[in-house]
Structures are given as structure tokens and as C-alpha cells.
Chain A
């Protein structure tokens, strides 16, 4: 531990990464201004004791044994069950609502309207009223008796039916390219040696979080509100409920100790959370509103559908010189947020044009979902790279190496290709069986780049407490949504203090603790990690002061080193030092500085996939996937791998299976459960491997980046490319189901 003492200090450090597998590393000296009070940033030369190891997730046993209590598990005494009455028509206005019949029903304690008469109904599921009853079945009985009347509009259900939707012929956009800003791109395309053009389509994917949205709310007599929520943003729920209920945020206490998945869909109280709070206020009882699985699929957001088309070209060397990208998103009733994009680095040397529009429909609004817009955009982008590689007569990997400007990913491509066995797995004759395979089986391999550009931000706190018995607490009000943030907090604290991870007790998900970030955009780790380390450093400094006091030694003669204290020639172990803490524990709240100029503002990564296609049934099985992924400093290798593998699994599911199916007449989802909505399961899993590539990015005292999104960007694209390599013809429409595979094969014939 070492503080920069002067008010600001110029600190020179080494950032970059160590070369691997014959590829060169990058090592750069950077000099940054470290503000007073911050810790010296970790860099390429730092040796770690705990950080970077494979510590098991601290709450793993609690989770698999059911001891971990989620919002879903909370049953405060006297709790009522709340349900939302939701619109049964997709588009129109609410003209009548009769809740009187409901109020007298057995067990019903409250029924409140949520939508005013005359107001717009935007989708099948738009909240209209809320009911609280003693049991869930009583609440549903009541729900069935509510009479609502509507006048019906005729907004489209499918974004392809929108009046501004592009004309599609055989799945290909059939209309002229935009005339806006056309001169430059047309010229660039004309100058290309070879060009390609294509259309890609993605269907709607739902978040499918295992724990439903919602919360248990208890409105108390003193006008305060306590809630147990399933959320990615403890403080988002706090401020959202405070606003909705007209309370000061401090009057709203939010608990989210465990969270059963969110993937971008759980940032506020939402209609169900506000309804629970209002029903609790009305009844004076705790009220639980947690969505049903159907509501999860239809009222909690989704990854929007998209139509994307690209035309692009390469010069005589195979370098990309022109890239024209147009996309239409289907973000539901919100009418925006359907933008898509692929990894931007490919077009660094190209003339580009980019146009995007959204097509509103009378369906649930899209919400951010694990790299919002990127898996769609990258599916199209990587599909175009394949088309260009084939135009240029190059192997897919060689084409990537030629066009990728990033030295880190250059190395990752090579490490990955070697480990995956790219040369042996790629089908040299796409559309033809590999030697030794049954004639009906086609195998192929594909790859795709990963990318993300977020390194966290200041504005949050974390507490470190040291008790006289030697226990250490690390606390943040932010939530651990399953990424393992609690474990990382323990590891960072242990590293900074030079103690065992087991000595650190971590508490997260209580709004009484310091404000932490919402878990979105891969920002929790990079925002919180430096804060947590800083808190531990401050606590260690206080420990030195207390030891100095107790021993009567001059403070400057007491230093913290290697998990213990040097006090004027005397060595105290951590536990010995803690005895001088006294009954009043040390408590330090850490902060985080603005990012320094470190190695890079983005992270890279790449993935490889191998598939096997049964050409008689059209069924695609992924047999192997491998990722090479960086994320700045790898705090816990095992958790990082788990995060990457999770993204690959979710990407596989998106690429091959998941799709919201709507009845276009009634506007209602047909597969709004887990029997008909297809999520890949255990038997569908390929061999999965994640290789973490550490990078010293030096952007703050820790230098870790988040890992939620980057690997999610690559997976579907890699699988789609593998399918194309197997079949000898691409399927440019996700999910790649048997019907589409058979249609593609028929077209090839």
C-alpha cells in the first residue's frame, strides 16, 4: 500500500500486456497525475497475492443450497399478493374500468386504477390496474373479474408491417440506398476492387431472467418505505420509488442482497414496483408484486428485432475501404432504442456511412439487454466480413488479421486460433462434408470479434471497516447481480490489506450503505473496484494511526506493509495491530477518481465456434466454442471465465433458438413461457472454453474493466459464421432454426 502524499503527483507506470504464444506484447510508459489521496495504480509490474486468482464465488454454497434469500423468497408477516391488471388489446384507448365488482371478492384488500380513462393502451400487457389479495389465487380470481373496455387502434404488431419498414424480397431489403450523404460513399464503393451486399434480420429475444421482476414493499406508518427488490440498481429503485410516492429518497430503504438475473432489464421499480408500494400504502400491509413468467416475457423488455443491410468493399490488397450500413430496429411501443452496431474497428480505414431508424409497434418496449444493439449489429457486420473475405479469396482468419488494427486483438486471434485449432476445424470446402463425416453432416467453423468501451466512472462510495477482533468488512450499497462482485470486493480488500480473503465479510445490496452504480454497460466492476481498494487503503492508514497512538510512536514511523504493521522497528501482524483498534471500529469510505489516460478506453476479445449441421433435418448443433477475452486487470480468473462462458451460452441460445412469437392478429405473445420459448439447455451445450487475457490498463488504481457485454457481442456472430462455413451458404436471419437451414440448402441446390 502506498499513498501519493503530495497534493498531486506525477506517477509513471507501465501499461499494456505481456506477449503470448509468439505474439508481441505492448508495454508503454505513461505518466499520469494521481490526485492526493488516491492509491498508486497497479500496473504491468505489480505482483499480486490474491487478485487474479481463482477464488470461489463467496455465495456459491448459499445459492446452490437455497439459503440465499432473493426478493422472491421474502414473506414478511401479513404480506399480501399483488397482481397487475393488464391491457388485453395491443393498441387503443382505455374507455372503461370497473373495479367495484372486484373489491368485495374473498381475500381482496385493495384494487387501484393505474391508467386513466381515455389514455392510450400501447401493448397487450400495458398496466391498467392493480389488485392486492390474501393469496395469489384470490388475486388472480379477482383479476379475471375486472371489466375493462377499450376502443381499438390498428398499430402494427410486427415491425415488418410498419409503414416505414423497408420492402423485403426473399429476406433481402429491396429498395434504393438513402440519397443523403451519398456522394462520398458511392465514390468509395466505386473505387473498391470488390464489393458485397447483404441483409440480416434478427427476431426479438426476451431477457428471460430466472427471478422475475418486482419487489416486496412495506409502507410504514412513519411514511417510510422498505422494499426487497430484484434489481440491477438499488439506487435506481430507491429514487424511482421516492419519486413515485412523493418521498425523500432517504425514506426509501432498498434491499437486494441476491439478484436472480437482469441482463439490462431491471434498473428501476417499474410499474410493478410502484404498484406494490401503492398497494402497501393503501392496505398498510407488506405487498409483493412479482411478475409471472408470461409477464416476464411480455412486460419486462426485450432485445429488439432488427433488419440490417450492409454494402462494403475492399481494395486490391483486401483492405476494407468502404462500408455503408443501414438498419431498422423494432423497439416496440417505445419507438426508439432499436439501434444496432458492430465492432467499429473494422472500418478504421474506410469511408463509412451509417443510417438507423426505428419502427414502432404495439408490443412491449425494448430495454437494454447485454450489449444493447451489438449482437444484432455484429451478426450483420461479421457476416459482411465473411462475404468480403470470400470476395477477396481469403481465409476468414487471415482477412481478420489483415484488417484488425488492434494489437491486442491481433494477439487474441492468434492465441484463439491456435488453441481452437482453427486451421483444422474450418471447412476448406464449405457446403461439402469433411472427410470421415457422414455425407448428411456438414461441419464448419466461424469466428467473430468482441468489443466494449466502458471503463467505469466516479460518483460512488464503498466502506471498509476494521474491527478489533481482526474482522474486516467491505460494504457497498450496489448489488451483485450474479457477476461475483461480492467476491471481487473481498479479494480487492484482502489484496490491499495483505490478508486472507476469508477474513473479509462483504455486504452488498442495502441502500443504507454508500451509493454504488447501477449494473449496466459493464460498469460495476470498473466503477466499484478502485473505490473498494481505496476504502481498504484508507482503513489501513487509519489502522496505522491507531497503532501509533496506542504505542505512543510518531505516526510517520508507522507504516503498513505486507499484511502487517512496522512501528518504529517493531513488527505487528494484522491481528495484533487490530487489537489497538478499540471498541469503535475503523470505518473508511473510499472514492474513485476520474479515469487516467491508461492503455486503452476499450476492451477487445474474439470467439471461435464450430457447428455440425444435419442437412436432412436442418438441425444445427454447436460442438465447440472458445473465447479469448481481455477485461483490463483480471480480478478473478474463474469468475471472469464464468462470465464469458455465460455470454457464449446466451449467444448460442440467441443464435439458434430464442424468438418471441407473436400472434399478429391479437397482438399477444404465443410462446410466453419456458415450454414454448426456447432457451438452450444443458444438452445443447458445446464444449466451452474461455481464455482470459490480462491487460494492465492503468486507467485507475485497479484497472479492471467490466465483462458483461463484450463476450455477448461476439457469440451469435461466430456461430452464424460457422453455420455459413458448414453450409456453403449463409443463413442471415436469427434464430437459425431448422426451417431456415433447410430453406438455405434448398436455395443453394
Chain B
């Protein structure tokens, strides 16, 4: 990797001040350090957030039932959190508990997981000229090797968002708290808005400005209701990313689906919410047939590439599984 200055701020304000156009925040560094070693990125300054546990750590449930998840919370802490015991939060616990490997989960932070860069093998090698990192002018995966690439929502780059946590949090209607250079620049946005509206090749993978820090994720009280589930498929159980993932949150009342929220992962440059599926099944009696029909419709809009058509079938199956689990239907 290239030489850089390592900054170890003690306060959030200090961290935000140290950041700039040629800096990178580091949480556990699992994604960032990899990119530095591969020389995909070469920041002049790396601002380490790990010492800011007071401001960025912890899981706090508030009296009204909402939960605040500090950006430095590890995936394993989330998977085990008693504050997330309610079945409504199930998708998040499952998503974090299934990610990566035990070693990675023990270190990887929530903030880093949401902001990690995509896994496209053209992008991850600095030997290829890639439109996304600016070294090239066209997406090589589009007509190249694209077995693990996108089915939906692409503009001119077929990367997929690799985060497990993101689709679960979208399904749960989470918000993210962001802090800019000044304390009064803090804002809260729906997690969907964390990702670019048009995920073009040149668009960054999230909307945070250089000096902005993801402080926390807020789960609304409404997320605790009902039940949510996360399911994914991957080629191997150890050390692998999902080829497709789905999170579903359902509130069933009187045998009917009163509220639904659904999001796919690993199939589009952003987490891929399925609001139309949610709408279609709301008011219906949950059943595998209903979900299978909804999944079929959802994937009709898929635009498979040369090598990833299988993801259409896998994605439907995973979506039905997540919905069925959220509805409490037995296998």
C-alpha cells in the first residue's frame, strides 16, 4: 500500500475536522485496508474511528421502543443483542449473524458494513480500467464475467451492494444519523437515502460527504412489531458473500398481512426495496403461493446478464423463504 498519515482522533469533532478530500475513515478496516493493499485507494490520511466508542458505540433502547445502534457496533454484537430480541428485529440479527465468518463478524462494524465498497472483481483489481473507479470509461463486467453481478437498477455499471445489514435495515425502516464537520450539521436520513438515487458508474456508493461520519443507525419502534426475517444464498458457507439476499418485515393481524416491507440484497448497486411486493401482499392472507406469485412478479423486471440468470431463480426462492419466515409459515 502507499504511505499515509494515520490520525487517531479522540473526539468525533476532531475526527470530522481531520477528514477531507484525501482522507478515509477507518472503522475495523476490513474493507478499507484491503482496498489500500490492493492500491485501489490511496488516501493521504486515514482517520481511525475505533477510539470513539463513547460517541459511536453501544446499543441503546429508548423508552418508546426505538433502538439506537452505534456505528461501531460489531456485526456479532448485533447478532447477539438482547435489545434486538423482539421478533420484529429478527432480520437484522440474522443478517449480521450470517455475514462473513466468525472472525470478520467479531471485528466488522455496522457503519463499515453499510459503507463498504462493492465486490466486483474488475473494480477490486487495480489492473483493470473500471468505469466506477474512474480508471476506465466502460463497465467491463457488463459484457465480461458477471456471474455475481446485478439484475436490477443498473445505469451503466453492474456492481452489487454487498452488505447484509443494509437490506435488513431498509426492510425495518431504519434511519441513519450523520454528522458533518460541525456538530450542528447533524442530520438523520432514511437508510434508503444513504445510497445514490442513480447508481451510475461514476456515482459514489453512498451519499456521505468526505468529512461526514455515520454516527448511528436508528430503528423505529414500529420495527419491533410483527416479525422480520433475512435469508440469503451463497455458494459456500465459510468466507463468502451472498449471491442473493432478501429481508422481509411483516405484521400479521387477524390472519392478514397488515404491514409489509421487503428489500433484496446483492442484486442491485443499492439495496433493492420491493415496495410493490409489499403493497401487493398487504391485506392478504400469508401463504407460500401468495409469496411465490409476488416473487415471480418482482423478478419479472430483472435484467439478467450473460452469466447471472440463475440469480433470478435463486432470488425468488430466497425472497419466498424470507417472506414465509417473516409470516411464521413453517417450511
Q: Check: A145 CB closer than 8 A to any chain B CB.
A: no
Minimum C-beta distance from A135 to chain B (A):
10
CB atoms of A668 and B238 under 8 A apart: no
Q: Check: B240 CB closer than 8 A to any chain A CB.
A: yes
Q: Which residues of B are found within 8 Å of A674, using beta-carbon distances?
A: 239
CB atoms of A663 and B145 under 8 A apart: yes
Q: Check: B25 CB closer than 8 A to any chain A CB.
A: no
Among A584-592, A603-611, A680-688, the stretch that binds chain B is: A680-688
Minimum C-beta distance from A340 to chain B (A):
25
CB atoms of B235 and A676 under 8 A apart: no
Interface residues of B in 122-142 (CB under 8 A from A): 122, 124-125, 127-128, 140
- Chain A's interface size range is 35 or more
CB atoms of A739 and B127 under 8 A apart: no
Q: Check: A675 CB closer than 8 A to any chain B CB.
A: yes
Q: Contacts A663-B144, A668-B128, A739-B147; is A683 near B237 (CB within 8 Å)?
A: yes
CB atoms of B238 and A617 under 8 A apart: no
CA distance A674 to B238 in the complex (A): 12
CB atoms of A617 and B1 under 8 A apart: no
Q: Check: A619 CB closer than 8 A to any chain B CB.
A: yes
CA distance A621 to B238 in the complex (A): 12
Q: Contacts A137-B1, A617-B233, A618-B310; is A681 near B238 (CB within 8 Å)?
A: yes
CA distance A400 to B127 in the complex (A): 50
CB atoms of A675 and B119 under 8 A apart: yes
Q: Check: A742 CB closer than 8 A to any chain B CB.
A: yes
CB atoms of B119 and A438 under 8 A apart: no
CB atoms of B128 and A683 under 8 A apart: no
CA distance A665 to B331 in the complex (A): 45
CA distance A679 to B101 in the complex (A): 14
CA distance A742 to B315 in the complex (A): 12
Chain A 255-266 per-residue mask, 1 if CB under 8 angstroms from chain B, else 0: 000000000000
- Chain B's interface size range is 35 or more
Q: Check: B314 CB closer than 8 A to any chain A CB.
A: yes
Q: Which residues of B are found within 8 Å of A683, using beta-carbon distances?
A: 236-238
Chain A 128-158 per-residue mask, 1 if CB under 8 angstroms from chain B, else 0: 0000000001001100100000000000000
CA distance A387 to B78 in the complex (A): 50
CA distance A744 to B63 in the complex (A): 54
Q: Contacts A438-B331, A738-B310; is A670 near B145 (CB within 8 Å)?
A: yes
Chain A 723-748 per-residue mask, 1 if CB under 8 angstroms from chain B, else 0: 00000000000000111001100000
Q: Check: B317 CB closer than 8 A to any chain A CB.
A: yes
Q: Check: A11 CB closer than 8 A to any chain B CB.
A: no
Interface residues of B in 30-61 (CB under 8 A from A): 34, 39
Q: Check: A616 CB closer than 8 A to any chain B CB.
A: yes
Minimum C-beta distance from A234 to chain B (A):
32
CB atoms of B236 and A680 under 8 A apart: yes
Minimum C-beta distance from B16 to chain A (A):
29
CA distance A144 to B39 in the complex (A): 10
CB atoms of B238 and A742 under 8 A apart: no
**Complex partner residue of A661 from B121, B128, B310, B331, CB under 8 angstroms:** B121
Q: Contacts A617-B233, A670-B125, A675-B119; is A682 near B310 (CB within 8 Å)?
A: no
Q: Check: A666 CB closer than 8 A to any chain B CB.
A: yes
Q: Check: B313 CB closer than 8 A to any chain A CB.
A: yes
Q: Check: B155 CB closer than 8 A to any chain A CB.
A: no
Q: Which residues of B are found within 8 Å of A88, using beta-carbon distances?
A: 127
Minimum C-beta distance from B113 to chain A (A):
15
CB atoms of B235 and A737 under 8 A apart: yes
Which residue of chain B lies nearest to A739 when distances are taken between CB atoms in the complex? B310
Which residue of chain B lies nearest to A661 when distances are taken between CB atoms in the complex? B145
Chain B 267-292 per-residue mask, 1 if CB under 8 angstroms from chain A, else 0: 00000000000000000000000000
Interface residues of B in 211-248 (CB under 8 A from A): 233-240, 243
CA distance A617 to B101 in the complex (A): 21
Minimum C-beta distance from B74 to chain A (A):
19
CB atoms of A684 and B236 under 8 A apart: yes
Pick the 8 closest A-B CB pairs, nearest first: A681-B238, A616-B317, A683-B237, A739-B310, A670-B121, A683-B238, A617-B233, A681-B239
Additional A-B contact list (5), CB under 8 Å, known A678-B236, A737-B235, A742-B310: A438-B331, A617-B314, A618-B313, A680-B238, A681-B239
